[in-house]
Amino acid sequence: MGAQASQSSSCELKNTKPLLQDSVIQGHGEDLLSAANEIKLLREESGVLKEQRKFMENEQRQVRQLQEELKVKDELLKRETRKRPTCTKADMGTLDLLIKAEEEIENTGRPSGMVWR
């Protein structure tokens, strides 16, 4: 009976070895499938992130362009604002001459300095 018992336990070990290998293989297969799914998700996320980065770069480019345009317009506005007092003084001088000429016309019928022919 001893020989038969050792033979049957040896047989049981041989039979469990393929089962153990199958479960290990199945476990690795599940790990590979899980890793493949994770890689797929990471690739999708990477694609989304690339699109977001591209969008952000375009937005930053537009912001820089608008900032540059604003800077140019600010400079133009400053330049025109600096010119304004000079133009206003010139306009006031012209307006003063016009008022004097109108007063002379009303008083004398003709502006001074004009020669009638």
pLDDT tens-digit readout, 96-117: 888 988 888 888 876 566 555 4
Considering just the CA atoms, what is the radius of gyration of the chain in Å?
Answer: 48
Q: What is the dihedral sign for C-alpha 33, 34, 35, 41?
A: positive
Task: State how far the Cα of 116 lies from the Cα of 68, in Å rounded to an integer.
Answer: 59
Residue 4 has pLDDT above 90, yes or no: no
Residue 115 gets the label, from left (phi > 0), alpha (psi -120 to 50) or beta, of beta
Instruction: State the average pLDDT over residues 46-63.
Output: 97
Residue-level pLDDT at 16: 61
Residue-level pLDDT at 86: 80
Instruction: State the average pLDDT over residues 87-101.
Output: 85
pTM score over 0.85: no
